[in-house]
């Protein structure tokens, strides 16, 4: 698994955020910094992404907010 971070947006207020990503199995697991929501999409997650527009094919809730690429990777592996 390869991890990375991109700059993006979330919410109706188009709030700027860091999006942590883990590329796996032809798609990307991603989480907005501080969120407990982890989503999987087959769409491109690149700088400038509005996560509200991504089509998710899987999702789960983690017990604590995700605050780094490593924390996201650990959550995906668990």
Instruction: Kindly give the confidence (pLDDT) of every residue in the chain, 78 residues in length, as a single tens digit, with 9 standing for 90 and above.
Output: 899 999 999 998 999 999 999 999 999 999 999 999 999 999 999 999 999 999 999 999 999 999 999 999 999 999
* Strands of the sheet with 15-24, listed across from one edge: 49-50, 2-10, 15-24, 27-32, 37-41, 56-61
Q: How far apart are CA 29 and CA 59, in angstroms?
A: 9
Q: What per-residue confidence (pLDDT) applies to 43?
A: 97
Q: What per-residue confidence (pLDDT) applies to 59?
A: 97
Q: What per-residue confidence (pLDDT) applies to 1?
A: 80
Query: Token pair of 59, please?
Result: 């999702």
Number of domains the chain contains: 1
Domain extent, residue 15, equals 2-77
């Amino acid at each position: 698994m390869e991890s990375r971070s991109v700059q993006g947006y979330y919410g109706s207020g188009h709030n700027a955020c860091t999006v942590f990503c883990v590329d796996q199995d032809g798609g990307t697991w991603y989480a907005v910094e501080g969120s407990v929501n982890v989503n999987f999409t087959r769409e491109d997650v690149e700088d400038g992404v509005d996560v509200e527009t991504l089509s998710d094919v899987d999702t789960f809730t983690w017990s604590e907010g995700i605050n780094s690429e490593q924390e996201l990777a650990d959550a995906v592996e668990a």
